[in-house]
Structure 1
Amino acid sequence: MNSNQILVPPRAQAPLKLVAFSVPPLQLALPIAQVQKILNCGEIGGSGLSATGIIRMDGEEIMVVDLQKRLFGGNQGKITGVKAYLLIARTSKRERFGLVTAQAPALMDVPVEQIRVLPDSYRRSDTLSIASHVARIPQGDSNPPLTVFILDSDRLLGA
């Protein structure tokens, strides 16, 4: 997804459907149009030296990204599938990839007026260079708004 591209559904009033997941302490999401499926995470191969691994699915090898390790570093060893979920999605170039998350992703309807483009200067200077947009979602009177960063899948695989 191009960072200048606006994530607006065909009907401007319709909320944008996002598949949201937690990478503590962050809340991240992908537009549902990019998500193919969510599975229980099996064994993921790889050296364990980077935040990426590989899994065979539907007759093809798919790169899997451990966002916890990618964003926050650390030597956590191999990507693990123990009590984890695997979110399979596609980039704008139709390349499939996977994201590992410890908690089940959730479907969210986010009002378009709550979504803002992240400035390029922020993206260049922050850990979240892989996010293109941010949504601040009200959570009621007594709770602070939920901040959800919407990932740019092209940057995620290309960064």
Structure 2
Amino acid sequence: MTATSSPPANPRAAADTANRSIRTIAFQLGSLDIALRIEAVQRVFSRVPIYSSGTNSSGVAHVNAQSDSPESQQEVVVFDLHRYLFGQSLPLASPELEAPVSRYLLVAKSPSGQSCGIPLEQEPSLMELPLSSIRQLPETYRQADTLGIASHVATSDRHGRQQTVFLLDMDAVLTLLPR
């Protein structure tokens, strides 16, 4: 995805750009609307236990990669994006299990191929964003703000209200994980 700095000189090209969109999986974290390109999302799970010492924003979850068979079980690093952005973790349910349970766990793959889970309080949804509404975030902003993990920003009219959506850069998210 590249930033659009000026409209195409050709009116037909301008109309094509205005009519094209990208499909994303969108979710809310606190007061922010966040999205990932749909190609980056591997799967969304519900009620997944997350194991963590609680000393930082990372943990691990056991998920079924392809099917519900035990053979397809894999471990996914989980990054508590809510804690990173707002200083506190999402409230996780703790039924009689040994680990807190995330209501939803969105598992995404970065362009470099590494998977990462993001715990969510609400179910994510499909959102189409017109290419004409997407702008690259300035590098100075990305270096200065916790939302620097977003590479682009878009404005969208959703449910009758103007909405600002930040598009995550999964490689930037992964750099925040402790090594």
How many pairs does the alignment contain?
150
Aligned to 1:154: 171
Q: 1:80 to 1:129 in 2, by over 3 A?
A: farther
Indicate which of 60, 64, 79 corresponds to 2:78: 64
Q: Distance in 2 between matches of 1:77 and 1:41?
A: 13
Q: TM-score, normalised by structure 1?
A: 0.84
Q: Distance in 2 between matches of 1:100 and 1:75?
A: 9
Which amino acid in 2 is paired with 1:128? L
Q: 1:149 to 1:89 in 2, by over 3 A?
A: same
Q: 1:1-159 maps to which residues of 2 (within 5 A)?
A: 5-6=1-2, 12=17, 13-57=19-63, 58-74=72-88, 80-82=100-102, 84-139=103-158, 143=161, 145-159=162-176
Q: 1:120 to 1:113 in 2, by over 3 A?
A: same
Q: Distance in 2 between matches of 1:77 and 1:27?
A: 18
Q: TM-score, normalised by structure 2?
A: 0.75
Q: Distance in 1 between matches of 2:27 and 2:76?
A: 20
Q: Distance in 1 between matches of 2:28 and 2:89?
A: 20
Gaps of 5+ in 2: 5-15, 64-71, 93-98
- Please give the per-residue CA displacement for 1:11-67, whole angstroms capped at 9, x wherever unaligned: 854310010000011010100000011110311111011111101233432111111
Q: Distance in 2 between matches of 1:22 and 1:75?
A: 14
Identity across the alignment (%): 34
Report the secondary structure of 2:148's partner residue: coil
Moved over 3 A (4+): 74-80
Which protein is bigger by CA-based radius of gyration? Answer: 2
Gaps of 5+ in 1: none
Report the secondary structure of 2:42's partner residue: strand
Report the secondary structure of 1:22's partner residue: strand
Q: Is residue 50–residue 59 contact of structure 2 (8 Å, CA) maintained in 1?
A: yes
